[in-house]
């Protein structure tokens, strides 16, 4: 009922009062770098945990537009970040394709069913319709845009085809993803087919997110780091390019390939606006490899937020100086760790915001 | 009784019939690159599984010199590799220091007790004496040297201080090792103290391995990849340097920092002979970063051994050509995966050996 009313209610789009993120992504002049944090909407905030405690489980929260929207906006209110990112999970795509996921507390994601053969692919839904199969995310985006009322941009996201492929094949987390990598060599036809299906669903999903109000989209390739240059070029780059080509005429696009320092030379050729860097990647070297035509996002070591405020300030300033003032979106090099003190997160955010 | 007789029996050292590994490590001329595989002594071989089935568990095998020696030599007989590596585990060092490990089938290592504060460190054994606390490894080395009778060199090994620190703090495997990284920032005095203890025990252990007969030693930094340049330089490099300085006058030393492509510029300064490369690292770029004074080891993507023999041959030849003929020890970019067909491993080994 609520979902239906949201669907019928065309979201109002207040003009953005803070569009630093979008200007930095497009390479326009900015007074200072914008700053947000991966996983900012989540366990670090007591206010999040209070909402979470009212829900049955993590998925109930993801699937409740009102509550997902509430926790999406919390870090804007509490931490003062320059962007919101919709509270959701990359695993909603496999679920929309017909493989439901579970999130087991302290263990991680689990898929009761997986796909490992061409035969298995017949069980998957083709033609994922985001307005039908992922309406809860789109409703959450519409709700969030209304409630943000233009204060900061809203980031939409999805997983990269490789990362989603890993979960759909393995069915759970893995250190080295040997099984999905095995299938690239042993069953390339299966791999290409599944990767294509994921890519098509993801493009439709991101386009629907933009239509619902996302001002920028980020593609998370969390497991890029286990692939060699050659495999990435053959299996992943054409699909990422397709995604960037489909989205970048609409909104700025960010690609974050974790562990992917070795992939930067090829990622630089994507038609995206921004490349995310993990904390192991040197910003100066990344700039040399990538050239001047992309914005770089990152990359403070998330573990530095365990240090004292003085150390956090010093390391954040060092990071800012390594990136330089042009085409930089300040962030951590990976998601914020859940047991970090929110006051320490504020020190990071404020250090960037005072750097003008 | 058996252990005692081994200790009293000074091992005979037959001259090496195949010393390709040692010559390649020292940068001397070789007819072709030597080849061995990380984790070659282990689950890939049915012959290993037969020995393993007779034992109570993995640790019983590690702690039985006769059987550890038997499985150490199996890959020399069956796969025809140019080196043996003693069958053991990097976690014997925490155990010798007073933190016993368990290996849980299909889960991985577990430590019933961990150390996380300066107070906890008082529970650890200082002055680890390898001949007392790790005699089973030294006995296995002596036995293996006798039985190999000079056919190929025997490699000894240990974990790097950071990797051992990770396990002693976390108590089990982890994706990002956030807790041990947190302690580097929050409790640097604890971290430095524990890292020093690990370093001292590891030096004594490697020296004892050499005395027992190891012809080359490798230091495995399996979790180097989660550390930024700066933390690695501050916490790890002085300790690795101490280890290399202590060992490299005795035997060639290899340092393998997995995920450590970003660390190569500093690793190049170590007084070791060889640096191992994972499969994500481009051999040509690594050579540029490291210079001409080191041997490089690696780095075929272990998942390529799932491909057809034709593809394995082609990719192995490509790898050989990327490394060039000088100062290269052929290997995979990480341990061989346990479910790989041994015939495919032979294709890899033979392709290198026919490359002369």
Q: What string of H, E and C letters represents the secondary structure of chain A?
A: CHHHHHHHCCCCCCCCCCCHHHHHHHCCCCCCCCECCCCCCCCCCHHHHHHHHHCCCHHHHHCCHHHHHHHHHHHHHHCCCCCEECCCCCCHHHHHHCCCCEEECCCEEECCCCCCCHHHHCCCCCCCCHHHHCHHHHHHHHHHHHHHCCCCCEEEEEECHHHHHHHHHHCECCCCCHHHHHHHHHCHHHHHHHHHHHHHHHHHHHHHHHHHCCCEEEEEECCHHHCCHHHHHHHHHHHHHHHHHHHCCCCCEEEEECCCHHHHHHHCCCCCCEEECCCCCCHHHHHHHHCCCCEEEEEECHHHHHCCHHHHHHHHHHHHHHHCCCCEEEEECCCCCCCCCHHHHHHHHHHHHCCC
All structural domains of chain B, each given as residue ranges with its CATH number in brackets, are 2-353 (3.20.20.210)
Q: What pTM was estimated for this model as a whole?
A: 0.94
Separation of alpha carbons A129 and A93, rounded Å: 11
Residues of chain A with Cβ-Cβ distance to B282 below 8 Å are: 229, 262
Query: What pLDDT is recorded for position B93?
Result: 98
Is position A205 annotated as part of the catalytic site?
Answer: no
Contact B40, B73 (CB under 8 A): no
Residue matched to tokens 């030294």: B138
Tokens for A220?
């998370």
Asked if B185 and A261 come within 8 Å (Cβ–Cβ), the reply is no
Would you give per-residue pLDDT tens digits along chain A (356 residues)? 333 443 444 445 789 999 999 999 999 999 999 999 999 999 999 999 999 999 988 999 999 999 999 999 999 999 999 999 999 999 999 999 999 999 988 889 999 999 999 999 999 998 999 999 999 999 999 999 999 999 999 999 999 999 999 999 999 999 999 999 999 999 999 999 999 999 999 999 999 999 999 999 999 999 999 999 999 999 999 999 999 999 999 999 999 999 999 999 999 999 999 999 999 999 999 999 999 999 999 999 999 999 999 999 999 999 999 999 899 999 999 999 999 999 999 999 999 999 97
Return all residues near A198 (Cβ < 8 A) that are at least 6 apart: A93, A97, A161, A164, A165, A168, A239
Is position A52 annotated as part of the catalytic site?
Answer: yes
Separation of alpha carbons A330 and A320, rounded Å: 8
Q: What are phi and psi of A123, to 5 degrees?
A: -80, -10
Residues 228-267 (B) with a CB less than 8 A from some CB of A: 228-229, 231, 259, 261-262
Asked if A262 and B259 come within 8 Å (Cβ–Cβ), the reply is no
Would you give per-residue pLDDT tens digits along chain B (356 residues)? 333 443 444 445 789 999 999 999 999 999 999 999 999 999 999 999 999 999 988 999 999 999 999 999 999 999 999 999 999 999 999 999 999 999 988 889 999 999 999 999 999 998 999 999 999 999 999 999 999 999 999 999 999 999 999 999 999 999 999 999 999 999 999 999 999 999 999 999 999 999 999 999 999 999 999 999 999 999 999 999 999 999 999 999 999 999 999 999 999 999 999 999 999 999 999 999 999 999 999 999 999 999 999 999 999 999 999 999 899 999 999 999 999 999 999 999 999 999 97
Say how many residues make up chain B.
356
Query: What pLDDT is recorded for position A14?
Result: 80
Helix or strand holding residue B42 (H, E): none
The verdict on A279 touching B (C-beta cutoff 8 Å) is yes
Separation of alpha carbons A317 and A351, rounded Å: 7
Helix axes A65-78, A135-148, angle to 10 degrees: 40
Residue matched to tokens 């035997």: B251
**Coil, helix or strand for B184?**
helix
Separation of alpha carbons B97 and B87, rounded Å: 20
Query: What pLDDT is recorded for position A12?
Result: 54
Residue matched to tokens 């997983």: A159
ipTM value, please give it.
0.92
Contact A143, A87 (CB under 8 A): no
Residues of chain B with Cβ-Cβ distance to A173 below 8 Å are: 175
Q: Which of B173, B227, B262 sits opposite A281 (nearest CB)?
A: B262
Contact A34, A21 (CB under 8 A): yes
CB atoms closer than 10 angstroms to residue B317 = 14
User: Which chain A residue's Cα is nearest to B286?
Assistant: A262
**Coil, helix or strand for B264?**
helix
Tokens for B281?
């690292």
């Amino acid at each position: 009922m609520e979902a239906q009313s949201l669907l019928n209610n065309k979201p109002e789009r207040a003009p953005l009062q803070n569009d630093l993120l979008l200007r930095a992504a497009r390479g326009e002049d900015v007074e200072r770098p914008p700053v947000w944090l991966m996983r900012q909407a989540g366990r670090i905030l007591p206010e999040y945990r209070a909402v979470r405690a009212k829900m049955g489980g993590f998925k109930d929260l993801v699937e409740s537009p009102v509550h997902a929207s509430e926790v999406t906006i919390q870090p804007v209110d509490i931490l003062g970040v320059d962007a919101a990112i919709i509270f959701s999970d990359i695993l909603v795509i496999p679920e929309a394709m017909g493989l439901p996921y579970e999130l087991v507390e302290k263990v991680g994601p689990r898929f009761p069913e997986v796909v490992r053969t061409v035969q298995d692919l017949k069980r998957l839904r083709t033609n994922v319709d985001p307005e039908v199969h992922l309406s809860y995310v789109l409703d959450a985006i519409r709700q969030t845009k209304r409630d943000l009322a233009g204060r900061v941009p809203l980031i939409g996201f999805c997983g990269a085809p490789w990362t989603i492929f890993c979960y759909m094949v393995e069915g759970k987390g893995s250190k080295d993803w040997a099984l999905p990598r095995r299938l690239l060599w042993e069953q390339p036809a299966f791999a290409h087919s599944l990767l294509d299906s994921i890519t098509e669903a993801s493009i439709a999903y991101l386009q629907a997110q933009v239509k619902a109000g996302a001002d920028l989209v980020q593609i998370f390739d969390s497991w890029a780091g286990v692939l060699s240059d050659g495999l990435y070029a053959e299996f992943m780059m054409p699909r990422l390019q397709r995604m960037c080509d489909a989205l970048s005429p609409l909104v700025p696009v960010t690609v974050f390939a974790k562990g992917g320092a070795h992939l930067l030379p090829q990622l630089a050729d994507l038609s995206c606006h921004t490349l995310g860097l993990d904390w192991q990647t040197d910003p100066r070297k990344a700039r040399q490899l990538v050239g001047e035509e992309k914005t770089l996002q990152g990359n403070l070591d998330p573990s530095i937020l365990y240090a004292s405020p003085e150390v956090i300030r010093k390391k954040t300033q060092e990071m800012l100086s390594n990136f330089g003032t042009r085409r930089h979106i300040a962030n951590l090099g990976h998601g914020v760790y859940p047991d970090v003190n929110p006051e320490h997160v504020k020190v990071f955010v404020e250090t960037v915001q005072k750097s003008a």
